[in-house]
Amino acid sequence: MAVQAGVRAQAAGISVVRHRRDLLPYMLILPIILYEGIFILIPIVQEFASSFTSDVIGLGAVKGVGLANYDRMINDRYFWNSIRVTLVFMVATVILAVGAGLVAALILNQRFRGRTVARAIMSLPWAFPDLPTVIIFSLILNPNFGVINVLARLLLPWLEQNPRWLIDINLAMPLVVAIAAWKAFPFYGLVTLSVMQSIPQELYEAAKVDGAAPRQTFRYVTLPAIMPTLLLMGVLACIFAFRQFVLIFLSTGGGPGRVTETLVISVYKAAFNSFDFSYGATLGVSGFVIVFVITLLFVYLQRRQAAEEAVHL
């Protein structure tokens, strides 16, 4: 009897251990689920709910208005202007940031003296917080004493007056794009570089034996290996550019003449300048839908590429 009791106790102990092991994965992901639910899911639900109300400070109690905010948004020319500005800013920033990151990765993937120092220097823009970045570029682009004026007069000696740079309606958007791309490209460059260094050297040696030129080696060896990463970087760059706020707000505030007023800036102005939280939430919902569509497009492209690779294999 004592032996049987001992066996039963041992079996019960093993069962408890197994039960705890089965619960361990759920216990580990529970904090993440709680965080995502409290700080992400609940605000999204509240934003959707607010878009169907008239939550404007000073106009009385909140009441449901149905689709009135969405009808207002569709007929708001400033909303469509912010969408156009956002898409221009997003596409230009993605092309410049990811493209510059790819070029930097190709250069830093070569063997030369001081390569480690060069990688550290390249990562500095990404390490800078947004506020110091805007302050530095505001000083550089100051129309009165900015150092960029000296460079402009050297390259364009016919200039009679210093350009107004960030307050010029034709220069504000290109400069904001350049600042955002300068801030972001080291991240994409370092990620792309890490993928390049994982490519087997035997592939490069085989291409060299076959007499492939550097351009052909990049096209048929490097590019296929880094293409999934480039797609991912492109989607991340789109999302980061789409929700960029600090750099634009601190440098131009959406001006001059709304030429740099992206959708995020419009949401801020509607909610915190006009105190129209319902309309701000409506604009935010439109941004959420656009980012969701971009993500779905990336998933589709990724699955399509994986299917093509499986066919070739």
88: CB partners within 8 A, 6+ apart: 173
* Residue 79 pLDDT exceeds 60: yes
List, as one string, the DSSP characters of 15-46. Answer: HHHHHHHHHHHHHHHHHHHHHHIIIIIHHHHH
- Per cent of the chain over pLDDT 90 is 36
Asked whether the beta carbons of 259 and 172 are under 8 A apart, the reply is yes
Of 193, 301, 184, which is closest to residue 243 (Cα–Cα)?
Answer: 184
What average pLDDT does the chain have? 86
How does pLDDT run across 113-164, given as a tens digit for each residue? 888 888 888 888 998 889 999 999 999 999 888 889 888 888 888 877 888 8
184: pLDDT confidence band, cut at 50, 70 and 90? very high
How does pLDDT run across 250-265, given as a tens digit for each residue? 999 998 889 999 999 9
* Residue 32 pLDDT exceeds 80: yes
19: pLDDT confidence band, cut at 50, 70 and 90? low
What integer is the mean pLDDT of 49-69?
78
What integer is the mean pLDDT of 160-185?
92
